[in-house]
Each structure stands twice: as structure tokens, then as C-alpha cells.
Amino acid sequence: MEEKSKSKGICGWLIALVVLAVVVFAVVYTIKKKNSHDSSGPAPVPGPPGAVEKKYSDALKTAMQFFDVQKCEDVIVAVVAGKLVDNQIPWRGDSGLKDGSEEGVDLSKGMYDAGDHMKFGFPMAFTATVLSWAILEYGDQMQAVGQLKPAQESLKWITDYLINAHDDDNVLYIQVGDPEKDHKCWDRPETMTAKRPLTQINTSFPGTEVAAETAAAMASASLVFKTTDSTYSSTLLKHAKQLFTFADKYKGSYSVSIPQVQDYYNSTGYEDELLWAAGWLYHATQDKSYFQYVTGDNGKAFANWGNPTWFSWDNKLAGTQVLLSRLSFFGSKDTSSNSGLQMYRKTAEAVMCGLLPKSPTATKSRTRGGLIWVSEWNTLQHPVASAFLAALYSDYMLTSQTAELSCDGRSFRPSDLRNFAENQADYVLGKNPLKRSFLVGYGENFPKFVHHRGASIPADATTGCLDGFKWLKSTDPNPNVAVGALVGGPFLNETYINDRNNSMQTEPSTYNSAVLVGLLSSLVTTSSAVKSFT
């Protein structure tokens, strides 16, 4: 009798435990189902800049310094009592002070393009446009880590040059120096002796893409300085309008008008720059004619709707699509519902879907470590530029309370885009199979053999045009650190040949720095996009 009683007691407890387990499972399932349902809704809108992410803050402060490395110094404005004022790069000094003097224009400012001493107007203007965009979207982020003022100063250094380069309504100086002769020398910019001829576009030798990109730079910069220097802002906007009219009226590629440019910054077309410039002019002026330009017949002819492309100094379509999507997210009802504008947004979504690694339409062009890989030359330009666009689009979605992005039937959230942006940034900063930072001056293992003349030659060395090549061929690390330089990057198989003469991988550029500054500024704290530039 006692054994049977015990058995009955045990059975009772087992039944009670089973019932309890069922109840607990039901509660957990209900909570999970509710949370799953809730997760389909929009994520909260981020507030003002929150806690600083140290690695991105440190990287941003580093990247910003490369603009100082690349400045063509002007003794009139940058020197007091024979010394550079606030010169953050001790091995740099005055250079290019007479640029433009032979034609009676002052082109002593601006920035050198890469590791050489050329001033190429096309990529320089793109640098200014992207830097303006970064400031307009993430100026509060920059301010939180003390980088807004340096960014504005670097931008103005370029736009001062561009204003002077636009010497007449239909004239724009697009180049200082002869690249063929320039590349036959290896010397410091402070002691260069090669002649620096000027190249211009005009009505007889048009250059629509350069004129339009310069218009975009000035229009976007006019917004940056609108509240701090209204007179300067108005001057920039006046030049932007004139340049856009020039670009649109006298259509022609500068690669055709001036064939010698094909060896360095050959253009694949000017239609994207016209849309890019008109988009920025609409943001700067609210003039409906620019809106009609991008959404009407020109949009249909030039925008290549439905076909995602890569954002770069040469192709602005992806950037234009994201920029104009902004109007779709935040514009008035009559604007946001425009059919042409919707096509820009759909194409921007296609760009985003191509970037997300788990998307059905994801590009397979990636390294083993997850880096977007498009070009053997200047590898890092495309992944960094793509990540910047992804961060922007993520913030547009968050701020507008857009919950999801659909990629061929699969849904993704703003956080997925931000994760992609962070992954690309982290790769650049050292989270890669090589465990190498590609940002000079950041981390322990960064490039020491950068293809950069000024950095490779001791500041006290006396060299001529040719005898300086011994520094190019030297097996010693650069004596000067080109702080903030973003080098070309790894090959597809994630190898990197750390050789100064390997310009394909070790040469930096100012336009790479611009997209990197944009990306890092988006990640430096919890972010949100402003709803209006004006």
C-alpha cells in the first residue's frame, strides 16, 4: 500500500510540472509573438548625438588631418611673421604660391590631388561636394568630437580656390600643372621647380562634367555657410548657378575637348553630374526648375533608373539617387509623390539591396573578409563611398519612421544598413584578415610606405626634380607621416604590398578622405538625419 501511495504522489507531481511547463511555454510564445510583431514596426528615432564611439571618433580626427597634408599653402593668408598659422603638419610649408599668376588668377589655394603636386579640378570639386554633404548631415556629430570647425575650414580652402578658378561665366580653370612633367619629378611641394601651366574649359572647349561638379560643390557649400557667413554663401550660390548654366548650355565631355586628361581623370560621361548638380541646386534654392530638371525629361534620359551603380568621383548617380530620396522621405506631399522622384528612390533602394550581404540581390563582389571590391586601383573608394550612402539611407529611414526596406521579397531594417556601414569602416580600420589599418596614423599597424612625395622626403632634404627619386626607391619607411591618408587598399585576395612604388595600393587621395570623413561622421555617435538643409 505504501509503494502505491508513493507512485500516485510522483505521478501527481509530474502532471503538475507538465501543466506548468505548458503554461510557461504559452506565455513565452505569446511574448515572443508580440515582440516579433512589434519588431516589424519602425525603430525609435535617434535623438541628438549620444555617447561617442571612441574608435570612430579617433579615426575621424585622424582622417581629417589629411586635408591639411594636401593643402597648397598660401603665404598671404596662412603665414604670420614667416610662420604658418595653426599648421598641424610640421613637415609641410608654403607651396604653389604663384599658381595661376601667369593668367592673372590666384589659384594658390586648393589641395593636391594625391601623392603628387597636381591640382585636378574634377576630383577636387567632388571632394568639396562630399565634404559639404557630410557636414550638412552630420555636423552635430562632428561638433560633438571637435571636428566641425576643421571640416568647415578644409571645405572653405577648396571653395576659395574654386571661386577664383571660375574667372568668367563660361570659363573654369580645371587643372594646375602638367601631369606628364609633374610625374617625372619626385620632390617636395615646397621646393618643386616644374612649370605649372593652367588648363581651362570654355565655350570652345566645353567640360560639362567638371563645370557641373563644381556647381554641385558650390551649391552644397553654400548651404554649409548659409548661417555662419551669408555673404560667402551667396557668392558660392551665384557661381553655382552660373556654372550649371554653362555646363548645361555648352554640353560636351572634357575628356573629348581636352584629350590629354584621359590619362588621369578620364570621364565616362557628364549626364550624372548634371543631375547631381541640379539636385544640389534645388536643395540650395528651392527653385522648382531644378526639381523639374532632375525629375522630368532629363531624369528620364540621364538617370538610368532601375540600374544601381557605384558612387565615385566619376559616377554620381548613386549619390544623386540617395540625395533625391531625401526629398521623398522628407519633402512636401506634392514633391514626395512625384513619379520621377519615386524612381530615384526605387533605384536608391536597389543600390542598398546590392550592398546588404544577406540580400537576394547582394553583389558577390566582396573579399573573403567582407569588403566590397570593385576596382583593383584605389580599391577602398567604392566600399567606403557605398558605406557612407548606406549610413545616410539608414538615417533617412529612421528619421522618417520607415520600418523596412524590401529586397526582392526579403525585408531589412535600418539597422542592417548601419551594420553594413560599420563593417566596411571596421575593415578599413583594421578588422580584416591582414589585421592592418589602411588609415595612416590610426592603430599600430598602418602603412609606413605611402606613395606620397612630401611624406617620403625628409623636410630638411635638398632635392631637385630627379635626384629625389632615391627617396621613392628607399627601403626605409617614410620619414614623415601623412596622417589621415587612406591608401588605395588590398587586392581581391586580401594581399597588400607595402611598397612606396606600388601606387596602385599605397597612394592616398583627397576624395577618398572625403567619403571616409562622411562615413566616420555618421558612425561617431548615435545618429539621426536632419529633415531640412535650410
Active-site residues: which are they?
Answer: 451
CA distance 425 to 138: 16
Render 168-224 in DSSP notation, one character per residue. Answer: BTTBEEEEES-HHHHTT----GGG--S---EEEE-SSS--HHHHHHHHHHHHHHHHH
In our burial notation (b when 16+ CB lie closer than 10 A, e otherwise), range 253-289 reads bbbebbeebeebbebeebbbbbbbbbbbbbbbbeeee
Cβ-contact 447, 483 below 8 angstroms:
no
* β-strand partners of 198: 176
Helix (H, G, I), strand (E, B) or coil at 287: coil
Q: Output b/e per residue, 156-192; b: 16+ Cβ within 10 A.
A: bbbbbbbbbbbbeebbbbbbbbbbeebbebbbbbeeb
Residue whose C-alpha is closest to residue 99's, from 217, 203, 197: 197
For 492, the 3-state DSSP assignment is coil
66 burial level (CB within 10 Å; 0-12, 13-18, 19+): buried
Closest CA to 87 of 68, 106, 72: 68
Please state, in angstroms and rounded to a whole number, the distance separating the CA atoms of residues 177 and 293. Answer: 35
Is residue 490 within 8 Å of 379, Cβ to Cβ? yes
Which DSSP letter does residue 228 get? T
| CA atoms within 13 A of residue 212's CA, in its CB half-sphere | 30
